[in-house]
Amino acid sequence: MGLFDKKYCDICGEKIGLFGNRKLEDGNLCKDCAAKLSPWFSERRSSTIAEIKEQLAYREANKEKVAAFEPVTTLGYGTKVMVDEGKGLFLITSASNWREANPDVLALTDVTGCRVEVKESSDEIRTKDAEGKSISYDPPRYKAKYDFYVNVDVNHPWFSEMSFRVNPSTVVVDPIVQSLPAAFGGPSNRPGARVTKADPTTNARYVEYRKAAEDIKDALLKARDDVREAALPKGPVICPHCGATTVPDASGRCEYCGSPVV
Ligand SMILES: [Zn+2]
Ligand SMILES: [Zn+2]
C-alpha cells in the first residue's frame, strides 16, 4: 500500500485528499465528516464505521436541540457555559456563532461531577551576553505559567468528560529577583542574585480566572441540583422499601431507610 493510494471515506463515500484521512478501527474517515463529530469525543481511532455512523446520527439530531436552546445564564470568557434552566439543559462552546457549531446539548442531570484544575508550567527567562547571544541567567530564572481548567464529568454515550480552559490566555507570573547587597554580588542583574518564585495569588489575573473557574463549577452544580430538586415529589410518598410515609430528601431518598424512592 503506497503513500499515494487513493482512499475513500467510509461514511460519505467522497475521495480523501492527501493528509485528509482520519483513521478508524476498520476504515477511513474524511476530514469533513470528522469535523461533524463531537468536539468532546476522543476515541475516533478505536471506533468502528458503525459507531461513527451512529454518532453522526446523534449529532444530526442534536441540531434540533441547539435550535430550541434558550440560554438564560452564560458563564465564562472564550469558552462559554450556557445554561437553559427552563429546559434543564446546558452546553459548552468556544464558537462565536455557537448555533452553527452544533455544540452538544446535555441535560443538567447528566452532570455527575465538576472539578477545577490549575495547571502550572514554567518557561526560562533568558538574557543576552556581550555578543548578543542568548544565555541563561545565573542562577537561571523561570516565569511561572498558569491555566485554569473546569473538568465536567458527564453521563453521555460518546464522552465522559468536558474539559475546557477558562482563561483566554495563559497567566504569566515573573519571579521575584532580589538585589543583593554590594558585598554579596550587587544588583539583581548580576550572577548570584536571589531568585524566588512569586506568589501567584498576588497576581490579579490569577485571582480573577481562578475565581471564574470556581464560579462556573458552583453555578453548574447548583443548576443541576435545582433541576433534581424540582423533580422531587412535593408531598409525602410511600417508600416501596420500608413502607413508611416519607418526604424524600434532596437526593430523592427515604428519610427513614435511605432507599431511593424517586
Ligand atoms: Zn466523509
Ligand atoms: Zn424507606
Rounded to the nearest angstrom, the distance between the alpha carbon of 33 and the centre of ligand 1 is 4
Q: Separation of 242 CA from ligand 2 center, angstroms?
A: 4
Q: Check whether 155 has a pLDDT greater than 70.
A: yes
Distance (Å) from CA 262 to ligand 1 centroid: 44
Tell how far the Cα of 234 is from the centroid of ligand 2, in angstroms.
Answer: 17
Whether the predicted pLDDT of 235 surpasses 80: no
Which residues fall inside 5 Å of ion ligand 1, going by CB?
9, 11-12, 30, 33
Q: What is the residue-wise DSSP string for 71-95?
A: -SEEEESSSEEEEETTTTEEEEE--
Task: State the distance from the centre of ligand 1 to the C-alpha of 14, rounded, in angstroms.
Answer: 6
DSSP E strands in 155-214: the ranges are 161-165, 171-173, 176-178, 194-196
Q: How many helices (H) and strands (E) does the chain have?
A: 4, 16
Q: What residues are paired with 125 via a beta bridge?
A: 141
pLDDT in tens, 48-76: 999 999 999 999 999 999 999 999 999 99
pLDDT (tens digit per residue) in 115-124: 999 999 999 9
Q: What's this model's pTM, rounded to 2 decimal places?
A: 0.82
